[in-house]
Amino acid sequence: MDGNGRWAEQRQLPRIFGHRQGVETVRAVVKECRALGIPHLTLYAFSSENWGRPAAEVAALMELLGLFLAQELETLITEDIRLRVIGNTALLPPEVLQVLQRTIERTAENSQLVLTLALSYGSRDEILRAVKGLAAEVQGGELAASDIDERRFSASLDTAGLPDPDLLIRTSGEMRISNFLLWQLAYAELYFTDVLWPDFSADELRRALDDFAARQRRFGLTSAQSASDS
């Protein structure tokens, strides 16, 4: 979800106005995913690297996040949406962590859409935490190094239990992955749009989905092989 700052700067507004408008886009996109029956949506809301932004912007983003979670709880419950989180959440302010944990618990049984927020998330950090966990299991004699396969490794990541993404959308014209789901995106289709996140919408989402639907996914096979599969 990129481009909040530029959206605000184009209007000579402080960056936080862009983040606030970005929250409205989050609401619209979650609603559209729910309406379309998309079972998983993961939003890269705050990266490990974002901690390095000016303290006032970090504080404003954290406040916005806490507010969003508190405001959305009722909708998540009525819409049967489950909230999950990935990232090094121990770094989040305690009041944000509290409302986050409460929302996760209160929506744990919901099943129509799994909404995953990547918070204080960095893929390399996630991979290293997984590797350390597995190494500790090997060291403790609970796991044989030779038993570490792709399934086992995936299950050690923050995204354990989530399917790998089919489609990655990045807004605002940047063509980078920026340390997002590096392992999980192995076969994802990538979609880049110049639209800034605050201007992204249900219509823009459907445009991305139409583009995705027209692609042929071969997963390393030939087109004849993958055509016979589907």
Residues within the interface to Mg ion (CB under 5 A): 2
* CA 192 – CA 174 distance, rounded (Å): 7
4 vs 123, which CB is nearer to ligand IPE?
A: 4
Residue 2 sits in the site that holds ligand IPE (CB under 6 A): yes
- The correct pick among 17, 28, 31, 50 for binding ligand IPE (CB under 6 A) is 50
Residue 110 sits in the site that holds ligand IPE (CB under 6 A): no
Helix (H), strand (E) counts: the chain: 8, 5
Residue of 4, 50, 110, 203 marked catalytic: 50
Residue 6 sits in the site that holds ligand IPE (CB under 6 A): yes
Active-site residue flag, 50: yes
Pick the piece of the chain touching ligand IPE (CB under 6 A) from 4-12, 25-33, 90-98, 117-125.
4-12
* Helix, strand, coil % over all residues of the chain, rounded to 5: 55, 15, 35
Q: DSSP H helical segments within 108-201, as ranges?
A: 123-139, 150-154
Give the Å distances, CA to CA, from 190 to 119, 142, 217.
21, 38, 12
Pick the piece of the chain touching ligand IPE (CB under 6 A) from 1-9, 138-146, 148-156, 209-217.
1-9
Active-site residue flag, 2: yes
**Residue 46 partner contact from Mg ion, ligand IPE, none using kind-dependent CB cut-offs of 5 to 8 Å:** ligand IPE
Q: What is the DSSP letter of 73?
A: H
Cα 60-62-68 angle, rounded to 5 deg: 100
Query: Would you name the residues annotated as active-site residues?
Result: 2, 50
Per CB under 6 A, residues contacting ligand IPE are 1-6, 46, 50, 61, 172
